[in-house]
Amino acid sequence: MELLLSWNLWLIPNSSPMPLSRPRAQAEHLCSVLTGYNPGGGLRVVCLQEAWAWHCGVLWPVAWIASFWPCGWGCTVTRHTGSLGVFLHDLIGFIFIATLLVVGWMFRPFASICPMLWNPRSIFKAPLRKAGMGHCIAIEPASICGILFDNGLCMYSSHAPIDSGSAALDAWYAVL
């Protein structure tokens, strides 16, 4: 193995300050790290943590548009700075994310027909492919029909999993 990189995205919707806009900046930064690394052709693996995909129902387009908002809206209402502006920003973020989650919870029964997910992994896919990490190993978020969140884990590799002796992630769930 040439490179093993673990990257925590901190995208937990109920505690991240920017669960929607952070993936775009993180994807750009991660790709700059990977392209700055001079590969020798060996196996490279990047493990993304807390890349949570979650149901947001018919508000999925709103979540996607909000992902371009640079200041982000998160749920850090526990952040005590003493500033009314920061408190109001965080309170609005909490209400916004809570609304997305409640609507997502209500639309869960329809997820098998039409999954309406906020999926940050889709933001990473194209940039990481350009950086030579063309293989994604993760449970498909569309398979989370009965739950609100997926497991938040995803791996990208420079070689196909079959070339490295790896088994598909969902194969492990059949064993458990």
pLDDT digits (tens, 9 = 90+) for 106-152: 877 776 676 678 888 888 989 999 888 888 887 666 555 556 777 78
Residue 23 makes CB contacts below 8 A (sequence gap 6+) with 9, 11, 51, 67, 120, 123, 124
* Residue ranges making up the domain that contains 38: 3-175
- 157 pLDDT higher than 70: yes
**pLDDT tier at 161, thresholds 50, 70, 90:** confident
- 173 pLDDT higher than 50: no
pLDDT digits (tens, 9 = 90+) for 11-68: 877 677 777 888 888 999 999 888 877 667 788 889 998 888 887 888 888 888 888 8
pLDDT digits (tens, 9 = 90+) for 65-87: 888 876 655 555 455 566 777 77
Q: Please give the tally of structural domains in the chain.
A: 1
